[in-house]
Structure 1
């Protein structure tokens, strides 16, 4: 057969493809009917019950041993297993002993000895065995495109399990997987090892196991698998023969036992085996996509030099999107597993592929396979074939497209869309889009945030409804990107309908069916109908719209195979996927056509950049949603956080338009504020019994506290729109972005109250769920408490405690005699500051130093000690209950002539006589010193820019760094200095008349209580840091008890300091760590008693952690 004929035959319509799917019969007495179900609920530590005897295939019968409850029980059981295997090893290694018998007689029992209930038939079982599925017709070894495959690879493709034989889970989350083999086959095969490693890596599992009981191997699966390196990732000490199990039982138990997995020990062990530079599957796939995109773009540009950068972006994305989509439906067995690979050796491969795309368009519909200008382009065979090879496991690809979820692709594509082509001298180069460069990257919304927002908006709309009523809901993300929130909404709707039809199976039988596991599933037609009825999205980037549509299509097909897809009753005739072109559209959600000035209408490039979107228009927007005074029932999303300065720089025309259109476009506004205003206008208004629509955004916290947020605060408060705010405080939901965020939920209907929730740092789905259940971290607040003034977002219980403490105690400002002073200002730290380099061996009155501005690698200089003062370098020299030792000096060219007098600048001539080393250094840097701001003469050029606080730092004082993650302080009598504020901190004096001993005050400033108070007063910074500003320090409440109580606090503080010092000296000493923890808790509780904290108030502090 010719290549052309082969291609023609293989691109025939689907009706000619025979794909028969059947379940391999694996009969065993492990039937579900043999067991009583185990109902553990949420208690994953519950122990499984003993089970009755089971019978293995081929007559291998054994008595069911109770699942081991501890390591010793497990060891006793594994000894019996090993002895049994060793006694008849030749038989077990023979061809006659098959895989099923191996599993039931040995592998199941091995994991029972490790504490796992392998044979439970409970719906919430932790160990799941995955039967193999035969795909007849996909292993035609005579086909040209398969001529390079081994018979093992052909067999694996024709008869494969979608996932390894076993998955082991706790709390509903898969923790590791196991591939079982029979001893005759062995476990060192390259392809079987690659299969289990790729599955685990694609599922983000830390390790995987392959065993035939005769041997067992464990692989760390946090690095990209390499088919040609089957031993890569093999964990040290975990390549064992059956005879090694007893002597290595501690290691096996510490990694594979249920107890170790539950405690997290197993994952930590596997993570330690991760090599440096290992990449996750999403990072790897993104890199490969970028590589393919750049190679494809360069090839297209060489062949079509008249293409613009915009056309390159469109063409490369459409080609890659199609290839990825096809691989996903192949691996899910909706299409044969050879659709793309059959073209890998054809001449003019891409042209032949375009014919396949026409066939797929008829089957799947939608924008993805619609005719596109990219089909009229030429692509080199080598380029397209390399990309195709990178997508197939048989060619070494590590990607399991059957494991990829739609939201995984969204996560990858979100960053993929952050780049664009620029054409530079005939080269197509991928670069970050300007706004992405400015923002520091693209940041994907975590799934737990999406789930919360979807639940808070959609669940109330679903409660008590029927499918007919739910079909009338209209849900939108006005900045949908790759479709993260659209998928979240769609998922929830699918699950709701499945739950409804599970409870009402006789209703609408053409919409749902039972799968082979007895689960209620929706037909693909009905899932498509849900998307058409309910899901809407808009994005200014047309490429993002394409990805969002593709993500929804893949979600429709996620649980389908050819057997289910082509046997379902049809709701509609024609293609298997709906067209979403009227549901997800490209346009600027903030600007409509009427907003664009006439001169910009005539400029094609300017109009395309603005991309106006007419929400209420029937042909260009979502007109049907707004007919009859309607609107959206839910508006959700993560609007862009972009300050107006960046908007003006990158989108000047659009910025001018929105500044005139939106009331929230105040000076210094954030684009997210405008999206919130726009979203309020998109909501369905309340009418009759209908409460109106709801919006929920994760958005910048700045609107609540900045001057530029005042118009939005006014808009929300006057309309009483706020329904809830989830405040993440200093916690970073988007680690890389450094943005502080809240989840704002607002309603079209005025609300009498709103719910405030505080989520402790670090934010996570578990933290959020815990906060929502906590009376201490949630509060119902009257709507009238909000106005245009900054919103503190403080909880009433916190406010009450702060007010009580402030009323009951004097302030730090009072007890210090209003003596809180910042570090000295030299104006030239690089000249006056120096790193310590040790004593000068030639002169005890000198010190070796390396000034900040000295050349790297230069020999240290010798300075006179009389003009050096020790410096604490802010928080870097401070730890809780510890300070120093100092490793820096500051040159102080001043002297106090009389006790208690003011410091005066030493004349430079006197410096030359008394301190020639310092004088020579200053002379060398005279130009730098003279170029400081200010007026400098021959008499004062070597002085500090400001001489403030020189004497105060020379005296006893308490020192507090400026930047903190926990308040810490030291009472200093050794003359240490702070330099500046941002890199240094504050000194605190003492007023004897106030009756507070300075050592006692310093001790209080190390307490958990005053840390909490100062955090409540201070602005949060990235990573949990906050700033100790003078005004906030002055307001700290300082209890002033009798002298003996102060001495008691100082003594407890000294004990903590000693315990922490011992712990620091030996970080691996668990006993020292416990002593330090007990001493700290004792000290903190003594402070609580000093301030008369109630148990409820202590709970407020504990909840903040």
Structure 2
């Protein structure tokens, strides 16, 4: 939908609102009605996929147990860009509490923009501006009567606007983008302040070593974070603030009593008796810490129920960097960074977890989930393990939406494992994982067995080092073949910069001079990995050519296959580190003599992290500006331990030429999915559930044979909802046979909400209620899709196919999700059909598109990336005539008996027309005879 079209639709929506006002019905509109009839349609016209028909989570309902949630999160490129709080029209939006709720939520979620609306008015707030009053945060306020005459301002909330960052630019122009510190940065500052004040006070009043102080103060702060989270999740009352309000002296003793109560209630070892409970400290210091845990000095309330694990992880990595400033220490570098340890951004963690654990989960049966073992051998505060927990829980929840709390406990106990040399890091990793399952007052699992202190690189027991023997410490895992997934961000340390870090490592079979310590972690990981398992690190990219990494190169190439590789080049993944980094995804298996991997490279150091995140979220399938992506060939025997090169070959040159010549791409609005029916015909499994002798295998549920439909009695309204339904027998490459066999009950939103108007269809569907699992069961298709794609002229294509199978259709045609449908308006559809069926576009899809085994999987994403060439209209017309001919021949061929003279003649004529079309397409793209030979040579090969 264009901006002008959106404006017209919103004008109609405003007119509808005015009719409601004139009818005096406004006060009767509750929040749900306001949202369903006005607010959601408004944002749909602004380009957002409100029902996630074409996306997974573009607009989602926000939920948390604190009760202070907002209604909707809007994402662009999987990154939240604003939160929306919807209210009923009768609500007074000027009440400060509504704005405060939206602003606080956005700030705690690290999102700049918060939107408050009841449709009558829209208020856009910048949650990053230091709060003095709500009016200070208010950037734009629009009454619905001004939506049209101030449409450019309303358009700032469109999806297109966020793609172009127009709201940020507009705010910057008016000086309304002044940012306060984000929640993570602010909480880190506060934690450091509290730590210093507690350390100084305890040191003053007690005789303690620096090590005792570090451990004790961290234990206290960890407990306080846990308690505040329990409070904000409504598991416990506001206990801590109650200590302050009691007016009693010796507040620390009261706090220790709370610790004892929590030890009894949760039993997580976090609250086990500790020597810090015997220390003395002033009420003033404890009081300031407790008060600060509720509200910042500039007036914003911390809500620990919505502060995400990655934010806490980032805080704690910085928190771990704090060391007592002792005589002779370098004050310019933190402890963790001097050890080559950097906190990993969320988008990196999610990519690594998705590409490793995500792949394992695809192949894992529900009953075997507990067998999956995930390890981070240098786990730090546990960011990778937190993400791994989320991924497994997501899979479990999809299989069983009613996942119990104890099932979540089982994930922590059965699936998650971590090791770190830093005991404080391990304690914080345990805390972060416990917070994941903190939802009610109950005994929590102890994680001391799963998250351990030790040196993953030193196996033999040595009193001088914290050795860690995986064979004995994780015996049950090793006996089962090893870990399924190993992930992480290990320390980066070169021996010439920190020789002490290599003490005890020189006996390793993988040690060599000039090495970086992270490659020792990588070699160790491969040894600990199960056959078929996945392993991925983010680490310095220099290993592909460094002399000090030759042993690792030999190890990784001989032990399996690199599946994906992204070179960040000069782009800084870590703000405070100048190192060039990369990510590899590796699978342990017998490597083939030659295989392909997906390769991507960021070519501009100024590329935004948002764009890099989008690239990673797509699995390296979405081209972004300033990136180079291709499939590289690896031949392990040819490389050995020499330099690994991911250079472009002639295939890449041809693909580049296609990309550079293309002058037209499809847009998202041009592409529609086929219908997701779920239950079309009766299967054996259905019969077992239905236990109805009148129902037979193959009977139509939501899809009916024409002969059956013709015998049934339907009223005129019902007949309108019986749509012609087509399969691959009628719709295929250059084939569009209007003579079909089926009708589909097009059970869209209107149908299911007005089912009383369709009595005969209702009676039919009611027979199958027990087996209907649609999201809109029983009277709705699972995903009916946009009906416009099934009407009028369009291009239909098979999504999964060995070779492109596009065809032009000019009649009503309803299909399953086995198809995609194209309806671009600015190009001749018959010409486009020929172009998409050409050998050249097949060549592109084979190398740049998605594949499932040897099949093409032509989903929306690869379709959007094809660099199409829009020829002059006269040229398009000529090719369209050729399409008419080939479609006529194909229709006749499809009806002709195989291996007859006529069949062979038609086949030859079709092949000749295909060649003629290919020749024209090659000419349009400017390919030479030599290049065409390479394309043609690869057409029929795997």
> Normalized against structure 1, the TM-score is what?
0.53
Deviation at 1:536, TM superposition (A): 0.8
C-alpha distance in 1, partners of 2:407/2:928? 63
Q: Distance in 2 between matches of 1:760 and 1:205?
A: 28
- Counterpart in the other structure of 1:623: 475
Q: Which residue of 1 aligns with 2:109?
A: 203
SS of the aligned residue for 1:751 comes to coil
Q: Secondary structure at the match of 2:443?
A: coil
Q: Which position in structure 2 is the counterpart of 1:734?
A: 574
Equivalent residue number for residue 233 of structure 1: 137
- What are the equivalent positions in structure 2 for 1:549-628 lying under 5 Å apart? 549-557=430-438, 560=439, 562=440, 575-592=442-459, 594=461, 596=462, 601=463, 607=464, 610-617=465-472, 621-627=473-479
Give the drift of 1:240. Answer: 5.1
Which digits, 9 at most, give the CA deviation of each residue in 1:582-639, with x for residues without a partner?
Answer: 1001111112453x4xxxx4xxxxx4xx43323223xxx32333347x4323222111
Alignment of 1:601-1000 (within 5 A): 601=463, 607=464, 610-617=465-472, 621-627=473-479, 630-648=481-499, 652=500, 654-658=501-505, 660-684=506-530, 691=531, 693-719=533-559, 722=562, 724-752=564-592, 753-761=594-602, 762=607, 764-768=612-616, 769=618, 771-772=620-621, 777-797=630-650
Q: Which has the larger radius of gyration?
A: 1
The number of residues matched between the two structures is 648
**For the structure 1 residues 251 and 382, does the alpha-carbon distance in structure 2 shift closer, same or farther, using more than 3 Å as the test?**
farther
Are residue 389 (structure 1) and residue 235 (structure 2) matched? Answer: no
- Quote how far apart the aligned CAs of 1:555 are: 1.6
* Mapped contact 2:46–2:157 kept (Cα < 8 A): no
Shift of 1:482: 0.9
Greater CA drift, 465-474 or 341-350? 465-474
Give the aligned partner of residue 471 of structure 1: 370
Counterpart-to-counterpart distance in 2, 1:239 and 1:528: 46
| In 1: Cα distance, 2:332 partner to 2:267 partner | 32
Report the Cα distance in structure 2 between the residues aligned to 1:119 and 1:705, rounded to whole angstroms: 45
User: In structure 2, what is the equivalent of residue 321 of structure 1?
Assistant: 222
For residues 713 and 356 of structure 1, the distance between their equivalents in structure 2, rounded to whole angstroms, comes to 54
Task: Determine which of 70, 88, 93 is the counterpart of 1:164.
Answer: 70
Residue by residue over 1:446-474, the C-alpha shift from the partner in whole angstroms, topping out at 9 and shown as x without a partner, is 33332333333334433443344332232
Q: 1:241 to 1:527 in 2, by over 3 A?
A: closer
Q: Are the equivalent residues in 1 in contact too, given 2:6–2:46 (CA < 8 A)?
A: no
CA distance in structure 2 between the partners assigned to 1:163 and 1:263 by the alignment: 28
- The one of 328, 331, 347 aligned to 2:232: 331
1:302 match: 204
- CA distance, structure 2, for counterparts of residue 754 and residue 78 of structure 1: 58
Query: Secondary structure in 1 aligned to 2:445?
Result: coil
What residue number does 1:311 align with? Answer: 212
For residues 224-263 of structure 1, the aligned pairs below 5 Å read 225-226=130-131, 228-235=132-139, 238-239=140-141, 245=146, 249-257=150-158, 260-261=161-162
Looking at structure 2, the residues matched to 712 and 394 of structure 1 have their Cα atoms a distance apart, in angstroms, of 48
Measure, in 2, the Cα distance between the counterparts of 1:125 and 1:692: 30
> 1:194 aligned to 88, 97, 100, which one?
100
Contact 2:351–2:619, Cα closer than 8 Å, also in 1: no
Aligned-partner Cα distance in 2 for 1:71–1:764: 32
DSSP-derived class of the 1:644 partner? coil
Cα distance, 1:183–1:479 mapped onto 2, change above 3 Å: same
CA distance in 2, matches of 1:709, 1:360: 49
Partner of 1:1005: none
Q: Deviations over 1:530-587 (max 9, x none)?
A: 2211211000111110111111112223xx4x4xxx7xxxxxxxx5311100100111
Partner Cα separation in structure 2 for residue 657 and residue 626 of structure 1 = 23
How far the C-alpha of 1:730 sits from its partner, in A, is 4.3
Q: Which moved more, 1:771-780 or 1:473-482?
A: 771-780
Kindly indicate whether residue 413 of structure 2 is the aligned counterpart of residue 413 of structure 1.
Answer: no
Q: CA deviation at 1:366?
A: 2.3
C-alpha distance in 2 between matches for 1:772 and 1:185: 45
CA RMSD of aligned residues (A): 4.2
Residues 395-434 of structure 1 mapped to structure 2, 5 A cutoff: 396-422=299-325, 432-434=333-335
1:723-747 Cα offsets, whole Å, 9 max, x none, are 5544344444334422222323445
Note if 1:376 corresponds to 2:216: no
Cα 1:499–1:303 change in 2 (3 A) is: same
- Cα distance in 1 for partners of 2:73, 2:629 equals 39
**Structure 1 pair 432/118, CA: closer, same or farther in 2 (3 Å)?**
closer
Q: Is the 8 A contact 2:598 2:630 kept in 1?
A: yes
Partner of 2:250: 348
Q: Is residue 562–residue 597 contact of structure 2 (8 Å, CA) maintained in 1? A: no
State the secondary structure of the residue aligned to 2:583.
Answer: strand
Superposition deviation, residue 176 in structure 1: 2.6
Q: Is the 8 A contact 2:38 2:119 kept in 1?
A: no
- The alpha-carbon distance between structure 1 residues 754 and 736, as it changes in their structure 2 partners (threshold 3 A), is farther
Asked if 2 retains the 8 angstrom alpha-carbon contact of 1:457 and 1:696, the reply is yes
- Cα drift, residue 386 of structure 1: 1.9
Distance (whole Å) between structure 2 residues aligned to residue 195 and residue 429 of structure 1: 44
Distance in 1 between the 2:292 and 2:477 partners?
43
Q: Secondary structure at the match of 1:661?
A: coil
3-state DSSP of counterpart to 2:498? helix
Kindly provide the CA deviation profile for residues 334-378 of structure 1, in whole angstroms up to 9, marking residues without a partner as x: 223x12221123422221121111221222222322222221222
Does structure 1 conserve the Cα–Cα contact (< 8 Å) formed by 2:484 and 2:529?
Answer: yes
Give the Cα separation in 1 of the matches to 2:34 and 2:365. 50
Match runs of 1:150-161 below 5 Å: 161=67
Shift of 1:107: 10
2:392 alignment partner in structure 1? 493
1:524 aligned partner: 405
Shift of 1:707: 1.4
2:321 and 2:357 map into 1 onto residues whose CA distance is 29
Note if contact 1:665-1:674 (Cα within 8 Å) is conserved in structure 2: yes
Could you tell me how far apart the structure 1 residues matched to 2:57 and 2:374 are? 36
CA distance in 2, matches of 1:113, 1:495: 31
SS at match of 1:577: coil
Deviations 1:779-816 (A, max 9, x none): 342322321222223243478899x9xxxxxxxxxxxx
Q: Distance in 1 between matches of 2:202 and 2:933?
A: 68
Question: Does the 8 Å CA contact 1:704/1:791 hold for their aligned counterparts?
Answer: yes
Q: Is the 8 Å Cα contact of residues 7 and 148 (structure 2) preserved in structure 1? A: no
Specify whether residues 472 and 1097 from structure 1 end up closer, same or farther in structure 2 by C-alpha distance, changes over 3 A only.
Answer: same
**Structure 2: gaps (5+ residues):** 658-924, 936-942
Unaligned ranges ≥5, structure 1:
1-44, 48-67, 134-159, 502-519, 567-574, 602-606, 685-690, 805-1087, 1099-1105
Deviations 1:889-920 (A, max 9, x none): xxxxxxxxxxxxxxxxxxxxxxxxxxxxxxxx
- 8 Å CA contact 1:79–1:246 kept in 2: the answer is no
SS of 1:399 mapped into structure 2? coil
1:71 aligns with 2:7: yes
1:969-994 deviation per Cα after TM superposition (whole angstroms, max 9, x unaligned): xxxxxxxxxxxxxxxxxxxxxxxxxx
Write the distance in 1 (CA, Å) between the matches of 2:48 and 2:517.
54
